[in-house]
Each structure stands twice: as C-alpha cells, then as structure tokens.
Structure 1
C-alpha cells in the first residue's frame, strides 16, 4: 500500500482492444507522465463510461482518425496515433511508463521519485546539465584510462595545483609550466601556452572565443560533437583523447622529473600512440570490406560466391518533436538481386517503436514478394532483445503480437545485431525518408543482368 502512489504515478494502460480502458479517467496517453487525454474545445459533456474501444475501427483495427480529432486536442491525437491497437483480440494491460521496455525496476522507480521531488522543490534558474557530456565520455573509442581521465576532467577531479590548494594539500595554486596564478583543469588542458600550441599544431581548428575557450564544458562539447559538423573526419577528429592525455603527461614530467617536453613532441607522441591503439583494437569487421547493400559494380557471378541466405538490413530515423518517422530497409537475395524500401510514416511513439515498425514493414513486404527465408539485421540491440524475450517488453505488447503473426508465416527467420557502421544503406534510406517530411511508401527492385548492370523495377510508390 505504501508503494501505491508511486505505481499510480508511473503506470500506463496499454491498448489492445480498448475494451477495459476508460477514456477520461485512466492514464493511457503515453506522455512524459501517463495521463488521460485532454478533450477538444468542441466537447462539452465527457461520458465517464466511454471506452477507448469506441475510437478503434473494427473493420481495419486502426484508429478512427476523424473521431480522434473531434474528441481530443491535436497534441494528444499525435500521441495516440503512435499507439498500435491489437489486431488479435488482445485485452488492454499495464506497462511502466518510465522505462523503454515497460518493466518496472527499482532504479526507474527511485529516479521517478527523485525527479518529482526536485520538480516540487525547484526554485530559480537551473544551471545547464553536464550529464550528456559525462555520458558521452564512455562512448569514446579510446583506452579506458583516457575515458576515465576525461570523466575526471569534467567532474573537476584532476589533481591540478588549484584543486590541491583548495583541498589544503598544497599552498601554491600557480601553473608550474607558465606561472599563471591559477592552474585550473581547463587552463592545464587548453589555455596553458604549451597546451595551446599543441592544439594550434593539430588538425583541430582554432576558433577565437569558441575553441579553446575559458569553459572546459564548451571545449569538451566542441571536441565531442562540433568537430564533425565542421567537416573533420575519422581518425583526425578522434585524436583528442590522446592529445589531452599526453598534455597531462607532459605537465607531470615537468613537475616530477624536471623534463621539458615540447608541444611538437607531445602531438607526435599522441598521434603515434593513437594509431598504434587503433591497429591493435581493429576488429575483423574493420579488416573486411563492408559487405554493403549498395549494388556492386562487379557483382559475384560464380555460384560459390553467392550468399547462403537472403539478407535484409533494417533501420529507422526518429527525432523528438518531429512529425514523421523514416523507415528504411535493403534486401539482397542469394544471387545479388536487390530490393530497397523507404517509407515516411506518422511519427512513432519512440525511436524504438520506429525500429519495430520498420522491421514489421520489411517482414510484411518481403512476405508479399514470396521471400520466406530471410536473415534480418539491425543496429538496434534493444530490438533484437525484444524479439528474443517478448515477455520482458510489455510496452510493445501489440507490436510483438503483430511480429509473432508475421514470424509464423516465415519458413526461416533470424534477427541479429550489427554495428551501426555496417548498416549505412538502411540508415540513409530511413533518414532520407524522414527528411522529406511526407507520408509515403516506396519499394524499388533491381535485378542483375549478364553484363553486370542492373535493371530497376519500381514496385510500390504512394
């Protein structure tokens, strides 16, 4: 009973047939906090016994869109359209609204209570959060010690003279390399003359007032994300963990060993070590040329070079506050013929819902073309987990019901996870579909001919 208020705060009704969910009194709208819908201005009387079932067309098992617009506010209609009613007489259920899967966890419950308390106590203006920066550190491709060092730098935990003096572990806060009155973390890594010269000699652009700046958070944000926008490519834009690490090492050599390391040597050392690490950690996928879904200019024609099973890669593109989700898939049969699909559809409830929508569309489209033995691949690990353990994902109850029906029609079906850089074609199709901002669906089939060229057959467009 003590946990009942928490459950009422975090539970959401999942819609199957809509027969046991009251429209105006139960939390079935998938907002940040699950809630009943808000009535449109035209609705005066709200029938307390009205069921969600009344808004589902029984011939198609789809939402009655004109009726939704008549009863609910436009913002709520878009959220409702992200839900998928059941096609197989499934009753409504419950899901935890504060996790992707819909399963309650102690951590998500604690986070909900903590957020609620902070919202109630919040006064004044909040400082910008550095959580995205701290979170991104662990995604960087670099040795663990360097990730930890970057995290310490952002958290203010590096033993600079300023920090040591603040903690009464020293009496001199001056920079040991240039004599600046305060050796802060940002000064050490970006503004101290030797460090500033390293950045000037590197491929990273110096932008006065922007990089290097007086804020370590702005500097790290620039290295994490802005360099790609400026056109820097791998491996040049990924060198910064080594540069920061060896600036720190050069500073320590000066203090503890009396050794002066030039900025040129610091940068050379960083580049050599970075390249050595990349070679040592290169995966087999990096060594093998990516077997793309893009048609080959000289496709294999010998029977021993054909694929053992048809392959379909799927991906989705979804952004918050967008009006359209983009879906994309590419299929190669055993002899190299290719079929690709791109679709712009109403914005899905979440990015993961869009991934599932794409898988369902690809499965349905290939089944209609008679392809009943297919190996599917996705760069979304949650999608693979969901298909393998559907009971652990109550938020996707109706989607998994549709998947189960489609799966039964396949003679041979597998789904596996691949790295994102191996799913470039499907990703491009999905992003292109979303960028159009239109509701459409297009499927194009190409066949190889004896001279290695391809004949294109548009098979679906609306």
Structure 2
C-alpha cells in the first residue's frame, strides 16, 4: 500500500493538476482573446514549430531565431533568446534563479501570480500576460510576414494593449441609453471608387441540424452586384460558421474575377485572426484556404463591422436556414425577402 501511495505521489509531482491554473486564467484581468490565448498555452495547442513537427505538419521544429532549439510553447514565451531579452527589459522581475524555468506550468503560474510574488508592481504587473500575447504575435509576424520588431517595441505594444483594454472597459460602463444611441448610428458604408465590398455572415443555432451562410457584394454606388445564400451541415460553433461564410465569399469572388475587394464581417475574432495572423486550430483549414485564394486578387482588405452595419448579410444567412438542400444559391437580382434591408443601407 505504501509503495502504491509513493507512486501516486511521484505521479502527482510529474503530472500536477492544471485545474487551478486553468481556473486562474479566467480570473486574470485581461481581454477575452488573451484569456483564450492563455488557455491554449496551458493546453499546448499553440501552433509553434515543435508542435507542428510532432503532428507531421512541418519538416522542421526548430526555433527561427535559435535554430538548434526546438520551438515549444515554453521556448517561444520564456526560453528563446528574444523572449529572454524582452523579459529582461520589461517591468516584470526575473525569477529568483535568474532565468525562467524549463517548465511551462511553473512559468505560467508565476505570470498569473506576479503581483503576489511582487506586490510593489501594482498595475505594472498587468502587462505580464500581454507580453506573452505580443511574443506570439511578434513570432507570427516574423514567420508569415518577414517582419521583425525589436524588444522595446514588444514591450511598448504590450503596454498599449493594456491601455486599450482599460479604455474598452470604461466604455462598457457607459449608460445604456448612450450605448444604444451609438449603435443606432452604425451603418453600412459603400466602398471607395474602384473597389467593391463584400459583407458575409453566418447563422448558427445549437438546436438546428444545419447552419446558414450568406454574403452580399456591392459597389461604390451602393448597388448590389451579387448575393450568395447557402445552407451547410451543422458547424462546431458560431465562429466556424462565420469563417465558412467568409471562405465561400472569397471563393465566389475569386471565380467572378473581382480584383479589389473589401471583406467585412461582424465577427471581430475572425477578422483579428486574419489581419494579425492569429492562431486557432479549429479554424486553421478554413484560414489556409482563404489565404490561398487571396492570390487571385489584386488587393484585399478584411474589416470588422458591427452587426448594425451587416444587416443584409445577416438576413441572407438567416434565410439560408430555410433552404431544403445544401446547393449554393447565387443572385444577381435582389430577392424580395431582402429588398427592405438593401434599401435601408442606401439611406
């Protein structure tokens, strides 16, 4: 019995319960996107080179900055030479040993409890999770765009992220009548001359067996050029449905030979992933398809639009739920069921 207990104790040390850390993530004062990012860090679901190599999705699992080293999540955020430089010039004190641990969980515990380790930091401690976020974004900019930012830039951007998040919190506490008045003035705007604008949306309901996706293409005169409506099999989430709608829109416009297109979506998370080269494994195949299709265009932009300015696409997506099959429907003439929404956007 004693031997069994000792074995259990050894396993507990080697494989500690991560539940307290996961719970602490949701209590950390950061934005929802950073909450999700921290959760993915602990879950080891960040698409670093090492993880991609182990899944046979990349030939090389090495860090781009220090090639002999495998790029793990812990390496990217704490052990990489660039990460060590960022932490060294940040307001966050180094661990007592002088360097970060080889254990991701130990390092994450320190980050999530930095103000308990160093009470004197006060609000400066809030920047720690945002530095992690910026280290990932900086890495993605280097890998996908060939852009390099130096260590002071990473710290500056992390501090700006904190301030921007604080301001958004302050705006969220505005009186409701002020919020409503602001939402009422959010309207769809036509694209500049020489461009077309495509709004897309998805309709997802956990209780249904299918989803609806739709898009509308308009020119600088606010005239509808094309619309697309389609029912698809039930997707895993509303976000996946939004991504499917955008993928179909991009595919359709590439086939219709439009060259300069602004793609608008009311999914801020989806637009952020595309614009900032964010990472979300569940969307990876869709995002890769979209990026591949972009080579058929001369210029493209991805823009977030509040739901109030995305009414036509929303109406199309909801109408798609009534379609009896999964065959795509393309319209060059505005159907009666969406005319009032189109005319409203022209006012």
TM range (shorter): 0.3 to 0.5
TM-score of the superposed pair, with normalisation by structure 1: 0.35
TM-score of the superposed pair, with normalisation by structure 2: 0.46
The higher-RCO structure (CA 8 Å, 6+ apart) is 2
Q: Larger radius of gyration, structure 1 or 2?
A: 1
